[in-house]
Amino acid sequence: MQTSITNSTTRYGWGTIILHWLIALIFIGQFALGFVMVRLTSQRTAFELIQLHKSFGFLLLGLIILRIAWRLGNAAPALPRSVGILERRAAPLAHFALYAFQLALPLSGWALVSVSMLEIPSLPFNLFIMPNLPLAESDGAESFWAAAHWYLAYAGMALVAVHVAAALRHHFQLRDGVLTRMITPLSGDSAE
């Protein structure tokens, strides 16, 4: 069998599969972390979790840029022939929107950190200083980006829920290979 790092027209390669699940894990974990960190009574724990959230946010930003580059440089496997015209048109839009949210969320968080009057530096995983975006600090700008980050997070999670529901429908109801081909390249042939 040929190397299965890259995609082919019939299956996803390991590059796509690993990036997909790694990003999925961080993306959902970031939502949970963000939800919890702003509801804690311990300001110390809140501070530490916010720094962790920032660290994973920058990691996510790097991974999603890699993911998009990988997507643009790789073939995308075709949908099974059984997929109807409506879903055939909706799926790429949904996937485009997912990429957009994955980019917008860390960027809006970065903007929020950059404009905050608290001026807390970003030191991802205590490894290096991440500079701020060149945006003016103000309480108004901080409120704006906090709200934007919040709405993007909930809308993004709603889209993830739709994405997961669609994948589960393909696996359990339609019984095609749309979900399994994102788990291992070996199931690619069955996607047709």
Partner 1 sequence: MFARILGFAAVAACLATPVSAAVALGDAAGSYSISPANSSIHFSIGKVGGGGLNGTFARFKGSIRIDNSDVGRSQVNFTIFPESVGTGQGRIDAFLRSDAVFDAANSPEIQFRSTGVTRTSDTTALVTGRLTARGKTFPEKFTAELGGLKAGTIKFHVTGKVLRSRYGMDVGTPIYSNVVDFDMMLTGKRG
Which one of residues 62, 73, 121, 140 is an interface residue with partner 1 (CB under 8 A)?
A: 121
Which CB, 44 or 175, lies closer to partner 1? 44
CB atoms within 10 A of CB 133: 13
Distance, in Å, from the CA atom of 128 to the CA atom of 139, rounded to the nearest integer, reads: 26
Distance, in Å, from the CA atom of 147 to the CA atom of 94, rounded to the nearest integer, reads: 23
Stretch that binds partner 1, among 1-9, 41-49, 95-103, 143-151 (CB under 8 A): 41-49
Stretch that binds partner 1, among 11-19, 25-33, 42-50, 175-183 (CB under 8 A): 42-50
Instruction: Read off the tokens for 161.
Output: 């829920």
Instruction: Write down the H helix ranges in the chain.
Output: 14-37, 43-72, 85-115, 139-168
Tell the smallest beta-carbon distance from residue 42 to partner 1 (Å). Answer: 7
Which CB, 86 or 136, lies closer to partner 1? 136
The dihedral of CA 165, 153, 44, 113: what is its sign?
positive
Distance, in Å, from the CA atom of 143 to the CA atom of 156, rounded to the nearest integer, reads: 20
Distance, in Å, from the CA atom of 57 to the CA atom of 111, rounded to the nearest integer, reads: 12
Q: 74 near 15, Cβ under 8 Å?
A: yes
Tell the smallest beta-carbon distance from residue 141 to partner 1 (Å). Answer: 15
Site string for partner 1, 47-76 (x = CB under 8 A): xx--x-------------------------
Instruction: Read off the tokens for 150.
Output: 């919040």
Binding residues for partner 1 restricted to 91-120, rule: CB under 8 A:
117-120
Tell the smallest beta-carbon distance from residue 29 to partner 1 (Å). Answer: 22
Which one of residues 76, 97, 123, 183 is an interface residue with partner 1 (CB under 8 A)?
A: 123
> Which residues of this protein are in contact with partner 1, per CB under 8 A?
42-44, 47-48, 51, 117-121, 123, 126, 129, 131
